[in-house]
Amino acid sequence: MTRSAPARRHILVVDDDPAVLGLMDETLTDRGYAVLLAQSGSAALEVATRTVPDLVLVDAQMPGMTGWDVCALLRRDPGMATTPLIFMTGLTETEHVLRAFEAGAVDYVTKPLALEEVLARIAVHIEAASRIRAAYRALDNAGRFLLAMNDGGEILWTTPQATRLLALLPAGRCATMPKHVADMPPGTVMLRHQVAECEIRLIFVGATGDNERLFRITAQALIPERILQDKLGLSVREAEVLLWISRGKTSRDIADILQVSPRTIDKHMEQIYNKTGFSTRAAAAATASRLLHEG
């Protein structure tokens, strides 16, 4: 199911008390938020499959699925990694507060709700999450599709493009990786999975915490020419010519391999220069070699 990308800030309020839902609906709507309401944990999970909220307010004590259960399940979704979760609770004992944070909450507010305080906390957490998402998008735009996992293979956070590539992997595949990843050198390919004409690779980058490991995920075309096509915007024949150039072949060699005239190869080279901005054969060969190595 495709999730929407809302223009306004969406807040999901989860509470089994209709009075609380009504109060928060009115209060948040008046402040310009788009409000999503759920009267149970299962309803909240269903809402989150359709629209990723910018923030979730969840009651701790609900019949059936508790707020802690909801929080833990939402945190398993990589798409919800940057969504702040705030508990609403009348329980202020340390053990209950700690349990909320262990489940993935970023904050809690006590009942009866002090509305101005709740609104202030919401604004702070939404702004912080927005900055994190902007950083993730910047990484994606730079071609760095990253994710973090703990030693158990649970995904802690991902950049948006990494989330899309992860969806191509079989469920639970990440959990089958070696447990002592941090002992491996950066650059180690931890996982390979073929999808159609691509190979998904999960590459260890380094440890970023006691139980957080950073990975880069790539989709590598199994045909080298396809990599050059995709990354440089070349035609099939131009990609073939550039591939042979990266392997040190002369124009006459390439003409013999492709069974065309050397003049035709020179015309393809002109198009390659025009499309890529390369000024020399050496620059084209070096860039092609780098792209093929990176996958």
- Confidence (pLDDT) at 6: 44
What is the pTM (predicted TM-score) of this model? 0.61
Angstrom distances, CA of residue 237 to CA of 124, 170, 195, 221, 250: 54, 34, 24, 16, 16
Query: What pLDDT band is residue 160 in, cutting at 50, 70 and 90?
Result: confident
What whole-number distance in Å separates Cα of residue 106 and Cα of residue 174? 26
Range of weakest confidence among 150-154, 158-162, 253-257: 150-154
Residue 258 phi, psi (nearest 5): -90, -5
CATH class, domain 10-139, is alpha beta
Average pLDDT rounded to a whole number, residues 110-116: 93
- Confidence (pLDDT) at 3: 47
Parse the chain into domains and list their residue ranges. 10-139, 146-221, 224-294
CATH class, domain 224-294, is mainly alpha
Query: What pLDDT band is residue 124 in, cutting at 50, 70 and 90?
Result: very high
